[in-house]
Amino acid sequence: MAISVMCPGCKTVFSVSDKFAGKTGPCPKCKQQITVPAASKGIVIHEPEAPSTTSTASGRAPTAPLVRFDLPMTTTQWAVWGMLLPLGLFLALAARFLFGAGQAPGWCLAAAALLFAIPCARLGYEAIRDRELEPYRGLPLTLRTLACGVAWALLWFAHGFIPPDMTRELWQWLFIGPIFFGVGALAALAAFDFDWGTAVAHFSLYAIVTALARWLAGFPPV
């Protein structure tokens, strides 16, 4: 059941799901805080200001289309984005047989780092974003996903400059790992407005998937 609400600030009319009844959120247009009425109250329309003869009267009428707070990904979108991850893992395994274990060229590693980064950033955002906030959509979401993905891919580029002696043993990553996770989480935090814990979880998906891909290609996972 949908609840129709008119913003008292800009007079935009929009509808929200009844699960948001009693909750407060920003108007999609002017960002003024609006409290959604209880579902039992039905449709609530705020009266416009009384007519005025002064020049301060706006006289604006609500003309904006109905807008929803949340527009989740469809099953088809999940399938299209999700298939890129197993495809990338298959290509990593194919590289092991094509070039030899741990012998894939640098351009191949760079392409793989970016190939995994984009879908991980997109799927991770959709899976753990705050459902109480209006989601990013369209071009803003695309640009934020690309920015986050490129930043993550560059971390593997930086990894190539670390002397092998500093990463040969797993315990050495107790000192190096937090730096990489900190930068990766910072990229997610800046791109998608996560809190710190959610940003770390977001980057963890990419770290796990790329470590698995490196192992399949014959490289040390980290």
Residue 196 to residue 186: CA distance in whole angstroms: 8
Q: What mean pLDDT is reported for the chain?
A: 80
Q: What is the pLDDT of residues 17-51, one digit of tens each?
A: 777 777 787 887 787 887 877 765 445 555 555 55
Residue 66 has a pLDDT of 45
Alpha carbon distance 209, 84 (integer Å): 11
pLDDT band at 57 (very low <50, low <70, confident <90, very high): very low
DSSP 108: H
pLDDT score for 148: 94
pLDDT: which is higher, 168 or 161: 161
Range of weakest confidence among 53-57, 127-131, 168-172, 195-199: 53-57
pLDDT in tens, 86-121: 888 999 999 999 988 888 898 888 888 988 999 999
Nearest-angstrom CA–CA distance, 7 and 154: 44
Round to whole Å and give the CA distance between 172 and 169. 6
DSSP run (H or E) holding 19: none
Q: Can you tell me the distance from the alpha carbon of 118 to that of 151, in angstroms, rounded to the nearest whole number?
A: 10
Q: Which residue has the higher pLDDT, 1 or 26?
A: 26
Q: Is pLDDT at 173 greater than 50 in this prediction?
A: yes
pLDDT of residue 1: 63
